[in-house]
Chain A
Amino acid sequence: MHRRLLIAPAIIAAAALLTACSNGNTGGDSNEKVTLTYGVWAGTQTPAMKEIAAAFTKENPNITVKVEERPWPEYWSTLQTGAAGGTAPDAFWMLAQNIRPYASGGQLLDVSDEIKKEKVDLSKYPKAVLDLYDQGDGKIYGLPKDVDTNAVWFNKAIFDKAGVAHPSANWTWDDFRATAKKLTDPAAGVWGVAAPIDYQGGYYNTIFQAGGQVISDDGKTAEIDSPKAQKGIEFWTNLQADKSSPTLKQLSDTEAETMFEQGKVAMYMSGAYWALKLYQNKQIAANVDVAPLPVGEKRATVTSGIVNVGFAGTKHPDAVKKFLLFASGKEAAEIQAKSGAVLPAYEGGEKAWMAAMPEFKNLQVFIDAKEYSVPLPVQGNAAEWQGDQTKYLTGAWEGTTSVADATKQYAGAIDKVLAEK
């Protein structure tokens, strides 16, 4: 394994030489036949992406787009080495947590001129997601293709069997905690809720609901140890203390989402992106329903979305820009929505998304959640400090460290990362 890792840079170096040789032709001729590659990671969305590529070729007969799928764990390391070596896909998916080094390293195409030329109406896209990708350099690297907000997936069968009323639209934190407790039945191996250490689908939401925030407004210091943020974290540690959730060890062995699909947990707080997977699971689909997040001090959900970006090293920048706007545009949104794979970012695509899964009657909660959504905190080297979460928070979840101590130490670690330039 190690040797393979060492060889990788060499292959890239060789590849860089090769592409350097063939870079002579930048191809300004618009009638030229061009093939673009489009890097994606999610298998469930690949059919829709292929359909979008085909629709684009129909409009632009000279441009063919080949969808290249890579599994999630490899996606970022392959992309990083590919971009450094000049062999990255022409267009690819980007996440807000990861965009910073690519943008500052000059690896991404600026599409703002194309947006102006094509008169794209930016108000059709969720502002929180656009803000998330704003690098403060006046450039726009891409437009979101989808948006995700959070809600509470729940298993109706477990509720009904326990004789517990389904969540109301205005349920509070206390209601949530009490419901989880009532639904838990150790004898049957059923827990009321899954309470893992999950930032996006979990504790970030409750931190904002408690009126706190994860990182300060200026992006320089962590505020995860503020009293309000601590309340947001206690929301989860309380569920663990109540034994309303499988332990962290159990959730490490079997992920929360899998537990929910197996009917072992009654409630799972997470994103709209699970809708299709749950819908396609014949064993559980009929029992699945969804409710809005419980209300703390206020309503809040973190939001994010995948953005289509272009590789600065592409040989066909004009074709790529054209494709990027198409892949995040209205028609592509409808194709995505019809497949049910994700909630499209482009305004108006929601109806088709809901219509794709007619038995899920309450999907509207994800769309309503856009109203009170806040951008996912991704300041600084987010991959680094978010990756540290289990190191510092596990003690709090397991009840061996106080929330105050755990968050204080974690905040110190985040501050250190944020201080690095």
Chain B
Amino acid sequence: MRATLDRPGRQQRRPGPTSPPRLRRRRNRIDWWAIPMIVPAFIGLAALYLWPFLSTFVKSFMKVPVFGPGTFTGVDNYTKLLSDEDFWRALGNSARYTLLVLLGIPIAIVLAALIEQAAKGRTLYRVLFFLPVVTLPVAVGMVWRFILNGDFGILNYLLSLVGVPGEYWVADDRFTIYAFAVVGIWMGLGVNLIILGAGLQSIPVELYEASAVDGAGRIRQFFSITLPLLSPSVFFVTVLTIISALQMFDLVFVMLGSVNNTAIDGSKTIVYLFYEAAFVQFKQGYGAAIAIVLLVIIMIATAIQFRLQRRWVNYD
């Protein structure tokens, strides 16, 4: 974990080649041999990542029928996108969802610290929290859809017991994003706990012992030792959470159930919009433009985070 998160340029550069010419020639020969060796991996990479990316990029400037070649239309797709109110609404929904899901990180930190301190059953807790991660998102979505059903759901039943009127959580677009966020946080908790748990274990026990001698209590230790030393893991988890939240699609698809759900128009995320354009409405070029815009947004969001991390992430 550490190695991947270290700021670029921090590692000591090896000194440049000062070897005699003979040796350098030998190195050259090894380079030639390396090329056929990396070809299989490169082909895989090219076929699975580079080619789809390039064709998506090119398609975003085209009008593409479902079958057969497309025609270039310049930035038509992009200008249409910018004036498409559905796009802005989807962007807002994705942003709202992402912010809400970030609330899962403090929850995960506290839970991870509690689990680390548990005298017994640490593995059991980890397994329990990890179960939603290895469960099919579709199954998870279905179960939550039943829980959140306005008339027959368990949640509204429980609310009615304490006298709170329930809402149509997955049929009213004022609430759907919150419903997605609850499920998203719950689903992501397992992975976050594993990463943060590993981070916690790498904090030397001596620090806690020393601080205890100095008179620091549990709370003080948490804020003065645990949090700063955990910050690289927190940063990593934040980056992952934001990326996956911006890509959220499956919960909309599964939790809103049918095409007749009238909440769907107010609940679409960017990737849902992409899916709809490319696979339901047969507008591949438009879909490609949405995908590229999403890519740019994710890149900017990630770049900003890497910038900001200098201020709060502690690598020492």
Q: Which residues of A contact B (CB under 8 A)?
A: 1-3, 5-7, 9-10, 13-14, 73, 76-77, 80, 83-84, 101-102, 104-107, 196-198, 248-256, 381, 383-384, 387, 390-391, 394, 397
Alpha-carbon gap, A104 to B65, bound state (A): 9
What residues on A are CB-neighbors of B171 within 8 Å? 248-250, 252-253
Alpha-carbon gap, A252 to B152, bound state (A): 13
* B275 to A: closest C-beta gap in Å: 7
| Segment with Cβ contacts to A, from B13-21, B186-194, B252-260 | B252-260
What residues on B are CB-neighbors of A256 within 8 Å? 260
The verdict on B281 contacting chain A, using a C-beta distance below 8 Å, is yes
What residues on B are CB-neighbors of A251 within 8 Å? 260, 262
Instruction: Report whether B275 and A5 are in contact in the complex, using a CB–CB cutoff of 8 Å.
Output: yes
Instruction: Report whether A387 and B281 are in contact in the complex, using a CB–CB cutoff of 8 Å.
Output: yes
Give 9 new A-B contacts, CB below 8 A, not counting A101-B66, A105-B67: A13-B47, A77-B275, A106-B67, A250-B151, A251-B262, A252-B258, A252-B262, A254-B149, A390-B262
Q: List 13 A-B contacts (CB under 8 A).
A: A1-B247, A1-B248, A6-B53, A77-B279, A101-B65, A105-B66, A249-B150, A252-B257, A252-B260, A252-B262, A253-B168, A387-B259, A390-B262
Chain A residue nearest in CB terms to B148 = A253
Instruction: Report whether B260 and A253 are in contact in the complex, using a CB–CB cutoff of 8 Å.
Output: no
What residues on A are CB-neighbors of B62 within 8 Å? none
* A21 to B: closest C-beta gap in Å: 15
**Given known contacts A77-B279, A253-B150, A383-B280, A2 and B168 CB-to-CB distance under 8 angstroms:** no
Alpha-carbon gap, A254 to B152, bound state (A): 9
The verdict on B105 contacting chain A, using a C-beta distance below 8 Å, is no
What residues on A are CB-neighbors of B74 within 8 Å? none
Query: Which of A198, A248, A249, A383 touches B281 (beta carbons < 8 Å)?
Result: A383
Instruction: Report whether B149 and A10 are in contact in the complex, using a CB–CB cutoff of 8 Å.
Output: no
Within 8 A of A (CB), among B98-127: none
Instruction: Report whether B260 and A197 are in contact in the complex, using a CB–CB cutoff of 8 Å.
Output: yes
Interface string of B37-76 (1 = CB under 8 A from A): 0000000000111011101100000000111100000000
Q: Which residues of B contact A (CB under 8 A)?
A: 47-49, 51-53, 55-56, 65-68, 137, 149-152, 168, 170-172, 247-250, 253, 256-265, 271, 274-276, 279-283, 291, 294
Instruction: Report whether A1 and B168 are in contact in the complex, using a CB–CB cutoff of 8 Å.
Output: no
Instruction: Report whether B282 and A381 are in contact in the complex, using a CB–CB cutoff of 8 Å.
Output: yes
Instruction: Report whether A9 and B52 are in contact in the complex, using a CB–CB cutoff of 8 Å.
Output: yes
Chain A residue nearest in CB terms to B48 = A10
What residues on A are CB-neighbors of B260 within 8 Å? 196-198, 251-252, 255-256, 390
What residues on A are CB-neighbors of B52 within 8 Å? 6-7, 9-10, 13
Query: Which of A7, A14, A106 touches B68 (beta carbons < 8 Å)?
Result: A106
Alpha-carbon gap, A197 to B261, bound state (A): 9
* A420 to B: closest C-beta gap in Å: 9
Alpha-carbon gap, A32 to B171, bound state (A): 55
Alpha-carbon gap, A76 to B281, bound state (A): 11
Chain A residue nearest in CB terms to B256 = A252
Secondary structure call for the B interface: loop
Alpha-carbon gap, A1 to B256, bound state (A): 17
Instruction: Report whether A80 and B151 are in contact in the complex, using a CB–CB cutoff of 8 Å.
Output: no
**Given known contacts A105-B66, A106-B68, A252 and B47 CB-to-CB distance under 8 angstroms:** no
Chain A residue nearest in CB terms to B46 = A10
Instruction: Report whether A105 and B262 are in contact in the complex, using a CB–CB cutoff of 8 Å.
Output: no
Instruction: Report whether A390 and B265 are in contact in the complex, using a CB–CB cutoff of 8 Å.
Output: yes
**Given known contacts A254-B151, A381-B282, A383-B282, A391 and B265 CB-to-CB distance under 8 angstroms:** yes
What residues on B are CB-neighbors of A5 within 8 Å? 271, 274-275
What residues on B are CB-neighbors of A198 within 8 Å? 260
Instruction: Report whether A10 and B47 are in contact in the complex, using a CB–CB cutoff of 8 Å.
Output: yes
* B176 to A: closest C-beta gap in Å: 10
* A196 to B: closest C-beta gap in Å: 5
Chain A residue nearest in CB terms to B149 = A253
Alpha-carbon gap, A384 to B66, bound state (A): 14
**Given known contacts A250-B171, A253-B171, A387 and B280 CB-to-CB distance under 8 angstroms:** yes
Alpha-carbon gap, A249 to B249, bound state (A): 22
Instruction: Report whether A390 and B264 are in contact in the complex, using a CB–CB cutoff of 8 Å.
Output: yes
What residues on A are CB-neighbors of B281 within 8 Å? 381, 383-384, 387
Alpha-carbon gap, A401 to B259, bound state (A): 21
Alpha-carbon gap, A73 to B172, bound state (A): 22
Q: Which 8 A-B pairs have the closest CB atoms?
A: A105-B67, A252-B171, A2-B247, A101-B66, A252-B261, A77-B279, A384-B281, A249-B168
Instruction: Report whether A80 and B247 are in contact in the complex, using a CB–CB cutoff of 8 Å.
Output: no
Alpha-carbon gap, A393 to B148, bound state (A): 25
Alpha-carbon gap, A255 to B256, bound state (A): 11
Alpha-carbon gap, A73 to B281, bound state (A): 14
Chain A residue nearest in CB terms to B264 = A390
What residues on B are CB-neighbors of A197 within 8 Å? 260, 262
Instruction: Report whether A2 and B66 are in contact in the complex, using a CB–CB cutoff of 8 Å.
Output: no
What residues on A are CB-neighbors of B263 within 8 Å? 249, 252
Instruction: Report whether A14 and B47 are in contact in the complex, using a CB–CB cutoff of 8 Å.
Output: yes
Chain A residue nearest in CB terms to B66 = A101
What residues on A are CB-neighbors of B65 within 8 Å? 101, 104-105
Query: Which of A2, A76, A83, A390 touches B249 (beta carbons < 8 Å)?
Result: A2
Chain A residue nearest in CB terms to B145 = A253
Alpha-carbon gap, A250 to B274, bound state (A): 28
Interface centre among A104, A105, A249, A384 (most CB of B within 10 A): A249
What residues on B are CB-neighbors of A7 within 8 Å? 48, 52
What residues on B are CB-neighbors of A10 within 8 Å? 47-49, 51-52
What residues on B are CB-neighbors of A105 within 8 Å? 65-68
What residues on A are CB-neighbors of B68 within 8 Å? 105-106
Alpha-carbon gap, A214 to B182, bound state (A): 41
Chain B residue nearest in CB terms to A384 = B281
* A20 to B: closest C-beta gap in Å: 15
Chain B residue nearest in CB terms to A71 = B138
Alpha-carbon gap, A356 to B271, bound state (A): 45
* B253 to A: closest C-beta gap in Å: 7
Instruction: Report whether B280 and A2 are in contact in the complex, using a CB–CB cutoff of 8 Å.
Output: no
What residues on B are CB-neighbors of A249 within 8 Å? 150, 168, 171-172, 262-263
What residues on A are CB-neighbors of B280 within 8 Å? 76, 383-384, 387
* B153 to A: closest C-beta gap in Å: 8
Chain A residue nearest in CB terms to B280 = A383
Alpha-carbon gap, A353 to B52, bound state (A): 48
Instruction: Report whether B51 and A76 are in contact in the complex, using a CB–CB cutoff of 8 Å.
Output: no
Chain B residue nearest in CB terms to A100 = B282
Instruction: Report whether A9 and B172 are in contact in the complex, using a CB–CB cutoff of 8 Å.
Output: no
Alpha-carbon gap, A250 to B149, bound state (A): 9
Instruction: Report whether A83 and B67 are in contact in the complex, using a CB–CB cutoff of 8 Å.
Output: yes
**Given known contacts A13-B47, A387-B280, A255 and B258 CB-to-CB distance under 8 angstroms:** yes
